[in-house]
Amino acid sequence: MLKIGLTGGIGTGKSVVARLFNLLGIPVYNADFRARWLMENNPKLVENIKILLGSEVFNENNKPDRKKIAEVVFSNPEALNRLNALIHPAVANDFTLWCEHHVSAPYILKEAAILFESGADAGLDHFILVEAPEDLRIKRVMKRDLRSETEIQAIMKQQWPESKKRERCAYRIVNDDKLAVLPQVIEIDKKLRELTIKNQQDACTA
């Protein structure tokens, strides 16, 4: 089974692309969503975050307050690195268990905003990059999350530039509100299914 990474900076629309692949029958692991879930439901991870950042970053229901966490880590690179060092191994283990339930799929997608930055690209076979102009990305996130342009730019600085990601990605999808996204998804899906068949045939003749 091929394991494909799907990435793109904030506001590029990678989640929309992921849903389109899912509609084509491809299982999608949303690493960002699972990280949030684990921060709420993995007791060991919750305890370690409290030790690192203090129990005040959790609310009265013992749920992480992501705004408070962001205020702490985005002004403290060391704290951000230590937080990531707690979260990323937990997500990697969760992903391994998830893959075991989808071995019959032609391929799977692992969706993550900081796929390369976090080391979450380890063990993946190929990568898809979702791209969009920076000004459009900022407008999208301002409308979606009600964040300021300054906040969004601070997040962008934590992510690799698209030019650097492009060097690692064999496939690209442009989501600039001009080019249709679905035909691009269908074309890549076709190529990946063909690659899966070829790999299976090569394995049988080896």
pLDDT of residue 206: 66
pLDDT at 60: 86
Residue with tokens 């002004």, as numbered in its chain: 75
Confidence of residue 115 (pLDDT cuts 50, 70, 90): very high
4-43 pLDDT tens trace: 999 999 999 999 999 999 999 999 999 999 999 999 999 9
Q: What was the pLDDT predicted at 185?
A: 98
Predicted local distance difference test score (pLDDT) of residue 137: 96
Q: How confident is the model at residue 101 (pLDDT cuts 50, 70, 90)?
A: very high
Assess whether pLDDT exceeds 80 at residue 176: yes
| Dist CA 202 CA 188 (whole Å) | 21
Work out the average pLDDT over 184-205. 92
